[in-house]
Amino acid sequence: MREIEANTVIEKVKDLCIDANCEVPECLLSALRVAREREDSPSGKAVLGIILRNAEIAREERVPICQDTGIAVVFVEMGEDVRVKGGNLKKVINEGVRRGYKEGYLRNSMCDPFTRENTGDNTPAVIHFDLVPGDKLKLIVVPKGGGAENMSGVTRLRPSDGVEGFKDFVVTRVRESSGNACPPIIVGVGIGGTFEQTALLAKKALLRPVGKPSTHPELAKIEKELLKDINDLGIGPMGLGGRTTALAVHIETFPCHIASLLVAININCHAHRHKEAIL
């Protein structure tokens, strides 16, 4: 059994939190540049230009892209032949988040749901564990802002509602989000599974490189159709009108019960942040 020191994991999670908040992935920047070229709306073009300039400033000055540095969502893929030595993995990840948010001058956005009292260090992180073959530990840190997360939703359709049913649900949810989700957005869609699983599928769909189509040809076609339907809404950058409402739609599916068709949409703002590392 391979062993990794707890401190190595803490330091890595800390760095991932800071890097994810100050640097957006290149796939997002190229999608934004293409969108700026194609955008017809003058205010939409201006907004896209500001977003691109903001990304440069954030990277150069190590300042967060957005003041909402998010809930720290962490996806963990734990090899079956590796263990973390010298600390409970959940505690170790939370310690990394605590240090990352403090040392990176990131905002603490976590609070009690009722008293609204801030936890003071952006913990607890929301951690999703998965066991995989091998002896590696993969960590993906996804700071998730409140504005776009608030626009997400889960619904249960009748199986007979089919493809048109879930397309309607997705487009309607995007229309209702208007400028609140900070468009241009990335749309994650989960279809199938159980209630909690469909939501997780939608979140995982956001981890795919921006615009990379589904490996399933039929789903890839639906992703393309949905992207067109969403961009035809005219919402545009920041909801002020324009052609660019979404940069990509990513769909993930899982088999489901014969009685069910659960669908979830998890929206990400244009500050599409995630960073990963393999230890």
Partner 1 sequence: MIRAIMLSTPLSDQDVEKLRMGDRVLFDGVVYTARDAAHRRLVDLIKEGKELPFDLSGQVIYYVGPSPARPGHVIGSAGPTSSYRMDPSSPYLIAKGLKGMVGKGPRSQGVVDAMMKYKCVYFATVGGAGALLAKAIKKSEVIAYEDLGPEAIRRLEVEDFPAIVAQDVYGGNLYVEGVKRYAR
The residue among 30 and 67 lying less far from partner 1, judged by its C-beta, is: 67
> Which of these segments, 7-15, 140-148, 192-200, 259-267, binds partner 1 (CB under 8 A)?
140-148
Angle at 71 between CA 65 and CA 76, to 5 degrees: 105
List, in order, residues 6 or more apart from 143 with CB less than 8 Å away: 17, 20, 21, 69, 70, 71, 72, 73, 106, 273, 274
Subset of residues 66 to 95 that bind partner 1, contact rule: CB under 8 A: 66-69
The answer to whether 107 contacts partner 1 (rule: CB under 8 A) is yes
The residue among 87 and 147 lying less far from partner 1, judged by its C-beta, is: 147
Q: Give the Cα separation of 171 and 168 in Å (integer).
A: 5
Q: Which of 93, 230, 267, 271 binds partner 1 (CB under 8 A)?
A: 271
For residue 239, the minimal CB distance to partner 1 (Å) is: 6
Cβ–Cβ < 8 Å for 74, 203: no
The residue among 9 and 47 lying less far from partner 1, judged by its C-beta, is: 47
> Which of these segments, 47-55, 73-81, 88-96, 124-132, binds partner 1 (CB under 8 A)?
47-55
Q: Which two structure tokens, joined as six digits, stand for 274? A: 């995630």
Secondary structure in 3-state letters for 138-189: EEEEEEECHHHHCCCEEEEECHHHHHHHHHHHHHHHHHHHHHHHCCCEEEEE
Subset of residues 162 to 181 that bind partner 1, contact rule: CB under 8 A: 178-180
For residue 222, the minimal CB distance to partner 1 (Å) is: 19
Cβ–Cβ < 8 Å for 248, 30: no
φ, ψ dihedrals at 3, nearest 5°: -125, 140
For residue 102, the minimal CB distance to partner 1 (Å) is: 9
The answer to whether 187 contacts partner 1 (rule: CB under 8 A) is no
Q: Which of 85, 150, 156, 225 binds partner 1 (CB under 8 A)?
A: 150
CA separation, residue 80 to residues 22, 114, 233, 264 (Å): 32, 39, 46, 30
The answer to whether 61 contacts partner 1 (rule: CB under 8 A) is yes
List, in order, residues 6 or more apart from 28 with CB less than 8 Å away: 210, 247, 270, 272
The answer to whether 239 contacts partner 1 (rule: CB under 8 A) is yes
The residue among 124 and 241 lying less far from partner 1, judged by its C-beta, is: 241
Calculate the CA dihedral of residues 237, 243, 246, 249 and round it to 10 degrees: 180
The answer to whether 260 contacts partner 1 (rule: CB under 8 A) is no
The answer to whether 25 contacts partner 1 (rule: CB under 8 A) is no
The answer to whether 267 contacts partner 1 (rule: CB under 8 A) is no
DSSP code per residue over 247-261: EEEEEEEE---TT-E
For residue 260, the minimal CB distance to partner 1 (Å) is: 32
| Residues that bind partner 1 in the complex, under the rule CB under 8 A | 40-44, 47, 50-51, 53-54, 57-58, 61-69, 105-109, 116, 118, 145-147, 150, 178-180, 182, 232-236, 238-243, 269-271
